[in-house]
Structure 1
Amino acid sequence: MELLGFLLFGGYVYGGWRFWKGFRRTNFSQGRLVLALLWPVLVIGNKSYRQNYRKALKG
């Protein structure tokens, strides 16, 4: 169970870090920190964010 929690946390941090690094490729101009921290919720619930998240990861 601890390993699963560690893997989930690692995935969360990795996804946020990748978005942070690719933020300039998105259509967003502000809110970098908030968008990077809330990425799992926004990917699930917001089509526009999901498209921009994919743009940020490409590179």
Structure 2
Amino acid sequence: MQYQFAVVCEKDTEGRILALCPALQGCYAEGDTQEEARANIREAIGAHIESRIAHGEALSS
């Protein structure tokens, strides 16, 4: 099954990129570049979804 979630990227005070998924509380990642942050948030979202499914929790999309 495929899911689509909005992701917000912003630069922090040290110049790193923070990527977060507002629909999945606590799901965020960072990277030195926007591309790296996006790749990292994809992994974080996947892990978040796997964990919720494993624990029988509902997903919001």
Whether TM exceeds 0.5 here: the answer is no
Bigger proportion of residues as helix: 1
Comparing both chains, which one has the higher relative contact order based on Cα–Cα distances under 8 Å and sequence gaps of 6 or more? Answer: 1
TM-score bracket for this pair, using the shorter chain length: 0.3 to 0.5
Q: What TM-score does the superposition give when structure 2 sets the normalisation length?
A: 0.38
Bigger proportion of residues as strand: 2
Q: What TM-score does the superposition give when structure 1 sets the normalisation length?
A: 0.39
